Each structure stands twice: as C-alpha cells, then as structure tokens.
Structure 1
C-alpha cells in the first residue's frame, strides 16, 4: 500500500512539474526552448567594427529572446559583405560610403544622399540599411608631424606634389578599392615611390618607425592621437561620407520584425569623438571589445549591467 501511494505521489510530482514548466512566462520559456530563434552577427577585422557588432548583439540579447552567435573579425569589407549575401551572417555594421562606392561602384553624395542610395541599391538584393548610428568615419590620409613640417603638408594636393619621394603604407584592401588608393591616384595624381599593404595595427608602427611616410586613417581612429599624426585635408573632397549603421538581410527582418526597433535604438547614439574614445579603450588601454561595448550601452541606459 505504501509503495502504491509513493508511486502515485511521484507520478503526480512529475506531472505537476511538467505542467508548471509549460505555464512559464512566454519570454523565459522561449529562451529556454530556443523558440526565440537565432541569428549570426559578423564584423570586419578592425576594432570599431567589432565594437559595433558586440553592441548590436548585446542589445538583441537584452531586448528579445533571439539567440545571437557572434562571428567577429571576419576580414575586410568584401569578406563581410559576401558573408551577408551568402546568409553565413545575417547582420553586421557597415558604412554608406563603402556600400555605394565599393560594393556597387556608384557615385556617392552627401550623407543623406549616400544613405538613400545605399538603401535603394541594397533593397534590390534583399538587404536593408537601418538607422545610422551617428558618426561619419570617413577615410583620410595622415603623416607624422615631422613629415608635415618638412614638406609643408596641409592638403592632399600638397602631398601629391612630393608623393614620388614617399612610401605609402595602408590596409590591404585600401590598395585595391576604387574609393581608396586607385581613386586618389586618379583625382590627385599621387604616385608614391612604393605602396605597401599591411594590417591596420601595423600601419601605425610602420609610420612611427619610419618604414612608411603616409598612411590611411579613419576619422574615429584612436591611433591618430596616440602616434601624434597630422591629418591632411581632402581638399578635392574625394572621400565620401562613411556613416555607420546596421546592415541586415531583409528575410531576417521579415522573420524577426522586432529587430528593426531594437537596432534603431542605436540611432544617433555615438559621436565621432565618443567612437574615438571607445576605440582607444581597446587599442590603447587593452580592454576587451565585448566589455567596452557592453559598458557603453549600460552607461547610455540601453541595457542593464
């Protein structure tokens, strides 16, 4: 009799546990069972892009039941773009100037024009550019203070006149992109003694060690201050605006429409100065990208610590 009662009690306990598990809150239950879905967020292979990817991932994880897989440091622009097109990733941060000039080989314009053209071109390929994050990380060229003083350099046109005596050290993809060295060469008539491709971090050591004389840089790059470089004026306005924002597959948005509102919480969130500071926390202070991204969102009140 005792055995029968014990068996009945155990059976009741199991049934009750199953019932309670099934009656849990919708969000927690979906998260536990994986019904919230999953997406993969990627990034290019430089600090800023990695930081932005982690911010997007943190926001999605905090505001939804969607599981996020992070594949940062994929490579250059074309690698990340191809991964998006092939659905290997569904979301990553990119820049309007890169999209219009590099991926579609179209002419850019103002920030507003480049954004509109990015969206128009991408729509035909089943892709979308959400709201810009707030800063324009345009390309520029930089030299050391000594080089600037020696040759009296203030503008790209000044540099073109003495480029034959100089070595250019830039990122690998900058050597081939139409919105990089090939385009500058055509517009300004720059013909360097040598043009070397190298990883982003090595560029600054190379110019500091005197191995190169000129390097490409980003407006938000912390290394400009660290290495006391002088940014030259793009006096013919070659470089287009590079407004940063989330780039996502339309079929992913259709499946998870809540992503648009979540990611648009980053609209206008970061100034160029703030981005430079965030980059410095990684490149100079040696903090982890994921920690810097998380702490920034907490500071802005977008997620809880």
Structure 2
C-alpha cells in the first residue's frame, strides 16, 4: 500500500500512517498482517480445485496477501513435489495420502492419522492445519446390475469373483501402495484386466460396460449420478482421508495470520455438502471458482 506524500509539518501523521500500512490496512475485511504473495495449488480433480479456491478466497478476503492460483497441477505426487520445491506454498491434501503415500507409514483412525500427519510433516518443514470436515476416503464401486448379479456387498465378496471382471481406475491408483497393490495383498483380488484412466472417464467406462469395477471417493457426486453401489471395505484397508490445508512452515512463519484465516474452514464441510458442491461443477457445469465462493458466502465466511 502506497503512503501519499504529506507536508513536512505533519511528520507525525506520516509516521502513524506508515505504521498502519505496515500492519496491512488495504482491505476493510482484512486481518492485520504482512502484504506479500503466495501461490496456492491444487490436484487435478474437482474437489481439490474447489477446496483450493476456498482457501484462496478466504486469504484474499481476510488478509493483504496476494494469491496466485495454480490449479489442476496433476496427481498427488505432482502437487507434493511442487510444494517441496516451493513452486507452490499451499494446497489442500488428505491425511491418508500424506501418511500412506508420501511417507509409506501406517495411519490409524482419523485422530491418529492427523497426529501422524503433523509429526511427519514437521520434520520436512511443512504443516497441516485444521481439517475441513470431509473424509474423502477411497472405496470401490460397481454398477447396480453387477452388484445384484454377483450379490456383492463387501470387498471380500468382490475378491471371490474378481477374476471375471475388469478394473478401471485412476492411473495413480494402480501404483499407489494405498491403492490397488495394497488391496490385492489384503483381499487377494486378481482382476481379469486392470486399466488406468482419467477420473472423468472411469464412470463413462463402467456405464458403457467396458469396465466392471472402479475406485471412487466418498464425496464423489458421480456415485449418485451413475447409480453405483459402494462396496463395504470389510477389512478396513483404506485409511481416513481427512482433507485440510498443507503449507510450508516458512510461509506460515512469514504470514502467521494464515493459520487463523484458514482454520475458519475447520469442520465447515460435511461429506454430503462436498458431494453437492462437486455435483454443481461435474453435473451442472458451474465454474469451480463460483461454486467455491458461493459456498463461503452461504457459510458466512466472506461477504457477497
């Protein structure tokens, strides 16, 4: 914020104005803090983009920090590398992904997984703030017709007939230890064929009969749209995937106001609300940035 030149006779006023500017006074809604710029990223699926836009909108509304948005960077490992390399300073991620995929450690329940997430990240100069409220855990889904044909209710049921089926999942799910390889070990699943594909194509493929089983998220709107049946993870393979902001500690040290601002999202989003937000983008074709902003306004977190 620029301080206008004043006459030398009002030096005190100038000094006071400079002091106020140093505390960040450019936005009536802004919390006191440093002006500067950070880059927020996201993975390449709707929910993650929505969450990233929410964080960006909150920061812009509550602070003087300028936000650069780098959405749809790619899969989990791409976003993680961007954070490690300081190409981005903040993005939304999931406790299960962090613990099991990035660090190859055991998770536990939601509380244990959150504690382990923070412990692991701290060693690498990163921090995980308060969770948003959603637990976007993985699951497996089949068409209603397939579920009825084979009387499928659980993952164990699926394992018994997996040799007759084609698995169609996201590319990274085929290789991640908290994905297909881990399921194979625990349940003994051995599909006739497994195919990697983009998230948006998975549901079309199962509708067209090209695949029989797909991975899905608990908050995915497409589950209802395509009338899929979610199978029970009866051996509890998938860990909790509680979503929240992951940020570089040096960024948090530089802009300590970010913690309080981002923690305003703590517990604000239920699984059902996230399904609806995802549907507004994936089904109703609304823009992610508009859906995210409207949600914040509805929750009273920012003004319309």
Cα distance in 2 between the residues matched to 1:29 and 1:69: 18
Cα distance in 1 between the residues matched to 2:153 and 2:27: 58
Unmatched 5+ residue regions in structure 2?
Answer: 8-13, 29-33
Instruction: Look up the SS of the partner of 1:233 in the other structure.
Output: coil
Instruction: Look up the SS of the partner of 1:163 in the other structure.
Output: helix
Shift of 1:124: 0.2
Instruction: Look up the SS of the partner of 1:230 in the other structure.
Output: strand
Map 1:201-212; keep pairs closer than 5 Å: 201-212=200-211
Q: TM-score, normalised by structure 2?
A: 0.91
Shift of 1:234: 0.3
State the number of aligned residues: 287
Instruction: Look up the SS of the partner of 2:169 in the other structure.
Output: strand
Given that 1:51 and 1:293 are in contact with CA atoms closer than 8 Å, whether structure 2 keeps it comes out as yes
Cα distance in 1 between the residues matched to 2:198 and 2:109: 29
Unmatched 5+ residue regions in structure 1?
Answer: 1-15
Cα distance in 2 between the residues matched to 1:19 and 1:258: 31
Instruction: Look up the SS of the partner of 1:154 in the other structure.
Output: coil
Cα distance in 1 between the residues matched to 2:26 and 2:38: 18
Residue 254 of structure 1: aligned partner? 253
Shift of 1:215: 0.2
Is 1:18 the counterpart of 2:21 in the alignment?
A: no
Cα distance in 2 between the residues matched to 1:44 and 1:19: 48
Cα distance in 1 between the residues matched to 2:140 and 2:189: 12
Cα distance in 1 between the residues matched to 2:182 and 2:285: 34
> C-alpha offsets along residues 268-294 of structure 1, whole Å, 9 cap, x if unaligned?
010000000000000000000000000
Cα distance in 1 between the residues matched to 2:145 and 2:267: 37
Q: TM-score, normalised by structure 1?
A: 0.91
Given that 2:27 and 2:63 are in contact with CA atoms closer than 8 Å, whether structure 1 keeps it comes out as no
Shift of 1:18: 3.1
Residue 129 of structure 2: aligned partner? 130
Given that 1:56 and 1:263 are in contact with CA atoms closer than 8 Å, whether structure 2 keeps it comes out as yes
Residue 77 of structure 1: aligned partner? 76
Map 1:1-305; keep pairs closer than 5 Å: 18-19=5-6, 23=17, 26=21, 27-28=24-25, 36-305=35-304
Given that 1:30 and 1:36 are in contact with CA atoms closer than 8 Å, whether structure 2 keeps it comes out as no
C-alpha RMSD over aligned residues: 1.8
Instruction: Look up the SS of the partner of 1:246 in the other structure.
Output: strand
Cα distance in 2 between the residues matched to 1:61 and 1:279: 23
Instruction: Look up the SS of the partner of 2:295 in the other structure.
Output: helix
Shift of 1:130: 0.3
> C-alpha offsets along residues 29-75 of structure 1, whole Å, 9 cap, x if unaligned?
599xxx71000000000000000000000000000000000001000
Shift of 1:263: 0.3
Given that 2:26 and 2:64 are in contact with CA atoms closer than 8 Å, whether structure 1 keeps it comes out as no
Instruction: Look up the SS of the partner of 2:5 in the other structure.
Output: helix
Cα distance in 1 between the residues matched to 2:131 and 2:27: 31
